[in-house]
Amino acid sequence: MNPRASLELAPDQKVLFASDLHLLHDDDPLCTGFLAWLEEQLRSHQPHWLVILGDLFETWVGDDLLDSESAWPRLTETLQREHRAGLQIGLVHGNRDFLLGPRFCQSVGATLFADPFVLTQASGRRWVISHGDAYCTDDLDYQAFRATVREPAWQHEFLAQPLEARLATAQTMRQRSQAEKRAKTLSIMDVNQSAVDGAIESHRAFGMIHGHTHRPGSYRTPSGHDRWVLTDWSIEPARQGGLLLSDDGPRLI
Ligand code: LP5
Ligand code: MN
């Protein structure tokens, strides 16, 4: 699957971003909350694109999950219906669901985008769009793990294992991640500012939009660029939201 590397917007086209939903089950309250939120945003803002900026799922161990008892009928049917009604859907891999593949994308009518990709607004303003984990360069243990599991050969071998074995490995890895995070400082788990500035400048962009760090807000980088961070999700409505990019610029919603 060749991910798309850029997106150019025409005047008046808006993009709705959401990330870090970490959905567990198709029928749980978080998924219900997300689908209701999505319908509401689509109705009130009428975006041309929905871009899911990684970690839609708590974990994703292969597209054959769609055949399993933990399939996603409500989520996939809703996205597919919106896609048929004219919504363009984009997807970026997160650190939990980097194994989302062509079959999942097809099931919801989504286009996979590279991490990072460059979005150009009608005004010519360029944004680097990323899940964000790649810029947490101070987290050396995570970056070593990331390098391993993003290798095609590793993924090929992992995906050849039975589904039950993959689910068990993912669960072990989740527990390990939670344990290791308790010993890491907040700053190690945040993006590295120089890495962000480097990416913005090498793409000749105005700023960056990302998720992953669970620290929503708009920030200024040391070199004076804009960095917008999406919220992660929980069942509390205060922690449910996204970002709307319009001709007026980005806005957390
Ligand atoms: O996700 P979160 O918020 O808890 O923390 C992330 C980083 N952790 C991860 C791991 C994922 O949570 C769990 C894996 C998802 C399953 C994917 C599909 C199946 C793949 C199975 C892989 C074996 O991404 C965490 C960061 C944090 O963000 C903040 O940025 O700190 O990083 C870690 O916890 C990584 C550890 O520090 C290093 C772990 C080394 C593990 C070595 C064993 C690898 C074996 C691979 C072969 C089986
Ligand atoms: Mn993440």
Going from the Cα of 129 to the center of ligand 1, the distance in angstroms, rounded, reads 22
- Note the helical H segments in the chain: 29-45, 73-84, 102-108, 140-149, 152-159, 163-182, 193-202
Going from the Cα of 87 to the center of ligand 1, the distance in angstroms, rounded, reads 32
Structural domains of the chain, count: 1
Span 125-161, pLDDT tens digits: 999 999 999 999 999 999 999 999 999 999 999 999 9
Q: Is residue 4 part of a domain?
A: no
Which pLDDT value is given to residue 207?
Answer: 98
Q: Is residue 5 part of a domain?
A: no
Sign of CA dihedral 37, 38, 39, 42: positive
For ligand 1, atom 5, which residue shows the shortest CA distance?
A: 177
Q: Confidence class of residue 238 from pLDDT cuts 50, 70 and 90?
A: confident
Q: Is residue 149 part of a domain?
A: yes
Q: Which residues fall within 8 angstroms of residue 222, CB to CB, at 6 or more apart? A: 193, 194, 197
What's the first-to-final CA gap in the chain, in angstroms?
32
Share of the chain above pLDDT 70, in %: 100
Q: Is residue 1 part of a domain?
A: no
CATH code where residue 121 lies: 3.60.21.10
Q: Is residue 242 part of a domain?
A: yes
Q: Is residue 116 part of a domain?
A: yes
Token pair in block for residue 131:
């899940």
Nearest to 232 by CA among 34, 26, 7, 11: 34
Q: Confidence class of residue 65 from pLDDT cuts 50, 70 and 90?
A: very high
Q: Is residue 232 part of a domain?
A: yes
* Environment of ion ligand 2 (residues, CB < 5 A): 55, 94-95, 212
Q: Confidence class of residue 230 from pLDDT cuts 50, 70 and 90?
A: very high
Going from the Cα of 173 to the center of ligand 1, the distance in angstroms, rounded, reads 6
Tell me which residue range forms the domain holding 226.
Answer: 10-252
Q: Is residue 211 part of a domain?
A: yes
